[in-house]
Chain A
Amino acid sequence: MTDNIRVLVAKPGLDGHDRGAKVVAGALRDAGMEVIYTGLRQTPEMIAEAAVQEDVDVVALSILSGAHMTIFPRVMDLLRERGVDHMLLTGGGIIPKSDGDELAKLGVGKLFGPGTSTRDIIAYINEEVARRRVADEI
């Protein structure tokens, strides 16, 4: 298998600050990944649909608005509903550690805050995807 990792980078909600999402998308591309960038103002439903059609390994959300306790669980539910919860749901933004711990209990992956090195994100994704990939019987 050619192991091109596919990542959906999306920015849910109404805040218009997508610089972080773009920096991460660029860094993942430079790390050899195929990044599907859907841009601003995505609803959880749009994100889950795109994840299904693009068959990504990772769904990465950038949330700065404080709505993370609503959006992450909702996206997680929608992925489960569609039977694709093997995908890694991760992301970043302004997210207190206690909230991150709570989201982790729901199956959400590590969340990255300001000042994170893109190298750490890349290493985390590589490791998680290797662990999660499933072989299909045709």
Chain B
Amino acid sequence: MKLLDRFLDGDRIALSRVITLLENDRNRRSAILDRLYPRSGNARRIGITGPPGSGKSTLTDRLTKQLRISGRTVGIIAVDPTSPFTGGALLGDRLRMQGSWDDPQVFLRSLADRSHTGGLSEATPHAMTALDAFGKDVIIVETVGVGQSTLDVSDVSDTTVVLLTPESGDSIQAMKAGLMEIADVLVVNKADREGADRFAAELRTIVDLGRWEEGWKPPVLSVSARDNTGMDGLYEKLDAHGDYLAGEGRLRRRRMRQGRSAIEKALGEMWRGRLTKLRDADCTMDRLSERVARREIHPLAAAGELMDELSV
């Protein structure tokens, strides 16, 4: 049987292979998605993001167990950074996600970001599509440890959870922009540590001052994922946000916005692909670079010329 037939037959090995091909094989990626994309869209997608060491994997592990208790199947994509110097990566999220290792209804895949900026790898949305088409009820995507502007997770999640720790306090000013704005739910993890209450109160003030969609003000929750305290409150809020999205076509609107962003990203990739080809094959780039260096033409105009050439 061919790979995609085995996939649709529920073969986990095939699911695993398909994710690899979606990652590696640019030539066949589109053909694979032709089969899988129409079968996706049913899963609830939860994004978990936050600074390094904030407890994303531990929280994901807990959340997974809870989802399984409520009878839902789970797919997880955990992203860790690739070294820009060697291209290698150490993927360690599995270390803290061993709570459901023997549960056949949980599938966890670690991906290296392959130097893609934005907190996810380029193939992450496709891997999520695969898990979705495979029939997972909930997909959790865990980003690399992020700072301010790695916000791709909000483009692939129905609900985005931003995880912080009391130690994140000092950088909170900078986080007002970006990370804070994509949060549907804010979690202060390691809430047993000193300063956690004050920090949570500060976060609430920032949320109060910020803008949010009508009908949903991002709640701030204090938990300890390690000690399993306060987690019930998080599960409730996740369900509540799911209900909120289900109303008045909100989920459809959110996914449309995400669809637009996905198309734009794909277009960007295609252009870059063409540009690389052009650079390899043609001397147009050399000619233009020389003219830019001689100040005969400025870079924007040169890019415009290239654009014209690429469009034919």
Contacts and interface: CB of A to CB of B under 8 A. Distances in A.
B3 A30 contact: no
Interface in A91-138: 136-138
Interface band, chain B: 35 or more
B83 A29 contact: yes
B13 A83 contact: yes
A40 B101 CA distance: 14
A1 B28 CA distance: 10
Nearest to B96: A39
A53 B24 contact: no
B101 A50 contact: yes
Contact of A34 (B4, B21, B91): B91
A36 B83 contact: no
B109 A29 contact: no
Given A35-B88, A36-B91, A49-B102, 5 more contacts: A26-B90, A29-B88, A30-B86, A32-B87, A33-B88
Interface of B: 2-4, 12-13, 16-17, 19-21, 23-26, 28, 31-32, 82-83, 86-92, 94-95, 98, 101-102, 107-110, 112, 114
- The 7 lowest CB-CB distance pairs between A and B, nearest first, are A29-B88, A55-B16, A32-B87, A32-B88, A39-B95, A55-B20, A36-B91
18 contacts: A1-B24, A2-B114, A4-B112, A32-B86, A32-B87, A32-B88, A36-B91, A37-B95, A38-B98, A46-B101, A52-B13, A53-B108, A54-B16, A54-B110, A55-B109, A82-B13, A137-B2, A138-B28
Interface of A: 1-4, 25-26, 28-39, 45-46, 49-50, 52-55, 82-84, 136-138
